């Protein structure tokens, strides 16, 4: 990136910490030519700060595309420069592997940084790259000298230094790259290093990497979030997404499943619960008529065809849960039901009919990720973990649950209870803790695949989205 320029600074330059526009200054230090062209350039209106930012963003993007001459012309005509000259010099030395010069550049950059202490972090990253490149080149003695005389005296990230010292034992460059999870000496690893180093520099000195692409991606994501009929399955990376940046993103109503495709009339009473299988090829429906019907889903026509009817649920079926591999289906009843039915969907046979006590209510269930255990409970103060034969493995007394979920680690269970909260229970060390506390009962909830987000159905005609363990909720919708 050619932006080594010096020249007389403008007011905007003062605002931007010497990183933006300097009237009549070329990006590589050349002033505008005299004559008519120079006069025209001097008469050009001075750019505002937002306009300077846009020019720099465009310049960075063009540079990333390899259009260096175009960038030079843009900077010359606008009177801007892409980054501070010290940053340009630093970039060049890093990409060329001139580590001593790059370290010297840090002293000049230090005066331009909001946090001078970040220089230690940047120096550590530089020395780490230098150390790894020496090792890859077979220069073990020089690498050891870097480790002992340069990295260790920094007294920064001691744990990482211990890990780096172990790489001295690598006998081949391939082994080093694999253990260090490193690209190896060259443009790729140095570019990655530069991206990390840029995070410590103010944007007025050096723009964050790929900043325009980041802003465009955020704009597309915001438009998708605001799109009433958006289908999240269409989401992908900005480069591959069928989204034009020239128009606002709007999905057609026809793209959203809001029209009746088929009416199922096989149940003869109220349908209380519906659940698609994990692979999407089946649908299970539970009814007050004491049956569960399993349907086949045609992925081409989206039509449903009845496969099996599972009968005998005397209290009706108000909850269903598929096992992780869709081999089994558990059916629960309403609040006064103490029975749980576990069916083998492939054969249509009843694997287990479970009831701990007539005093119990088994109204909610969740599968452990291993597919060999499940948890179940209800609103009468019991909470069980069982195997496929209904044998009791663990229990948690005094917990009246509304809804259950098993974490991906196979140890923790989340349960919404009658105390208007979601609580986490660990069956290995028998500990529990609050995750979310609400002002009204949490009737049900579902958790994202990552385990970070939960959608709550709260008994105030609202749904709430919570993140992590902070119990903070997104704006609710009635």
Tell me the C-alpha distance between 458 and 445, whole Å.
Answer: 9
Per-residue pLDDT, 245: 82
* β-strands 401-406, 392-395 pairing: unpaired
Per-residue pLDDT, 252: 79
- Categorize the per-residue pLDDT at 172 as very low, low, confident or very high, splitting at 50, 70 and 90: very high
pLDDT in tens, 271-283: 999 999 999 999 9
With CA atoms as reference, report the closest residue to 273 among 320, 338, 337.
Answer: 320
Largest CA distance in the chain: 99
Between vectors from CA 454 to CA 330 and to CA 277, what angle results, nearest 5°?
A: 30
Per-residue pLDDT, 375: 94
pLDDT in tens, 33-91: 334 444 444 456 788 989 999 999 999 999 989 998 999 999 999 988 888 999 999 99
Per-residue pLDDT, 232: 66
Per-residue pLDDT, 462: 64
Check if the beta carbon of residue 353 is closer than 8 Å to that of residue 318. Answer: no
Per-residue pLDDT, 317: 96
Residue-wise DSSP of 90-146:
HHHHHHTT-HHHHHHHHHHHHTT-S-TTHHHHHHHHHHHHHHHHHHHTT-HHHHHHH
Q: Strands, DSSP E only, in 233-278?
A: 271-276
Token couple for 353: 């009919």
Whether the per-residue pLDDT at 339 is higher than 60: the answer is yes
Tell me the C-alpha distance between 72 and 62, whole Å.
Answer: 10
Does CATH place domain 271-467 in 2.60.120.260?
no
Question: Can you tell me the mean pLDDT for 16-32?
Answer: 42
Per-residue pLDDT, 379: 81
Residue-wise DSSP of 364-425:
EEEE-TTSSEEEEE-TTS-EEEEETT--EEEE-TT--EEEEEE-TTSSEEEEEETTSEEEEE
- Categorize the per-residue pLDDT at 23 as very low, low, confident or very high, splitting at 50, 70 and 90: very low
Domain boundaries, the chain: 11-82, 87-198, 211-255, 271-467
Per-residue pLDDT, 7: 37
Per-residue pLDDT, 209: 87
Tell me the C-alpha distance between 150 and 424, whole Å.
Answer: 47
Whether the per-residue pLDDT at 420 is higher than 70: the answer is yes
User: Residue 55: enclosing H or E segment and its boundaries?
Assistant: helix 49-64
CB atoms closer than 10 angstroms to residue 64? 15
Considering the chain, what percentage of its residues have pLDDT values greater than 70?
A: 85
- Categorize the per-residue pLDDT at 10 as very low, low, confident or very high, splitting at 50, 70 and 90: very low
Please, what is the average pLDDT of the chain? 84
Token couple for 277: 């299988």
Per-residue pLDDT, 52: 92
The number of C-alpha atoms within 13 Å of 115 and in the hemisphere containing its C-beta is: 9
Considering the chain, what percentage of its residues have pLDDT values greater than 90?
A: 53
Token couple for 134: 């020496």
Whether the per-residue pLDDT at 108 is higher than 50: the answer is yes
Helix, strand or coil, per DSSP, at residue 444: strand
Please state the φ and ψ torsions of residue 471, each to the nearest 5 degrees: 65, 15
Residue-wise DSSP of 286-335:
EETTSEEEEEEE-TTT--EEEEEEEE--TT---EEEE-TTSSEEEEE--T
């Amino acid at each position: 990136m050619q932006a080594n320029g010096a020249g007389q600074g403008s007011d905007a330059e003062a605002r931007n910490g010497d990183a933006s526009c300097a009237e009549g200054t070329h990006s590589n230090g050349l002033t505008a030519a005299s004559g008519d062209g120079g006069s025209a350039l001097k008469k050009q209106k001075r750019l505002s700060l937002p306009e300077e930012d846009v020019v720099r963003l465009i310049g960075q993007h063009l540079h990333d595309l390899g259009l260096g001459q175009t960038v030079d012309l843009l900077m010359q005509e606008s009177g801007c420069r892409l980054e501070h000259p010290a940053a340009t010099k630093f970039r060049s030395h890093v990409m060329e592997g001139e580590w001593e010069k790059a370290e010297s550049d840090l002293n000049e950059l230090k005066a331009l940084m909001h946090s001078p202490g970040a220089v230690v972090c940047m120096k550590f990253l530089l020395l780490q790259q230098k150390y790894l490149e020496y090792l890859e080149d077979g220069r073990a003695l020089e690498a050891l000298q870097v480790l002992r005389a340069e990295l260790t005296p920094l007294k920064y990230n001691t744990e990482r230094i211990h890990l780096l010292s172990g790489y001295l034992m690598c006998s081949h460059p391939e082994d080093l790259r694999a253990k260090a999870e490193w690209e190896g000496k060259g443009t790729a690893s140095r570019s990655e290093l530069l991206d990390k180093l840029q995070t410590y520099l103010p944007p007025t000195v050096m723009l964050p990497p790929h900043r325009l692409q980041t802003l465009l991606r955020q704009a597309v994501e915001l438009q998708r979030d605001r799109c009433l009929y958006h289908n999240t399955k269409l989401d992908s990376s900005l480069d591959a997404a069928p989204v034009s940046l020239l128009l606002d993103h709007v999905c057609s109503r026809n793209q959203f499943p809001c029209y009746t495709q088929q009416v199922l009339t096989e149940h003869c009473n109220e349908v209380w619960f519906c659940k698609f299988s994990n692979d999407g090829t089946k649908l299970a429906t539970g009814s007050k008529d004491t049956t569960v019907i399993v349907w086949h889903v045609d992925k081409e026509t989206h039509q449903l065809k009845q496969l099996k009817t599972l009968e005998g649920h005397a209290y009706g079926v108000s909850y269903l849960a598929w096992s992780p591999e869709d081999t089994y289906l558990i059916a629960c009843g309403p609040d006064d039901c103490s029975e749980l039915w576990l069916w083998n969907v492939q054969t249509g046979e009843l694997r287990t009919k479970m009831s701990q006590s007539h005093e119990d209510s088994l109204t909610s269930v969740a599968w452990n990720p291993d597919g060999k255990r499940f948890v179940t409970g209800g609103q009468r103060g019991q909470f069980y973990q069982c195997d496929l034969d209904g044998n009791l493995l663990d229990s948690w007394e005094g917990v009246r649950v509304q809804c259950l979920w098993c974490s991906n680690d196979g140890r923790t269970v989340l349960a919404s209870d009658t105390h208007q909260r979601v609580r986490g229970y660990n069956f290995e060390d028998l500990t529990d803790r609050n995750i979310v506390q609400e002002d009204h009962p949490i009737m049900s909830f579902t958790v994202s695949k990552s385990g970070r987000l939960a959608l709550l159905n709260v008994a105030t005609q609202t749904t709430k989205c919570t993140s992590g363990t902070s119990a903070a909720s997104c704006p609710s919708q009635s």
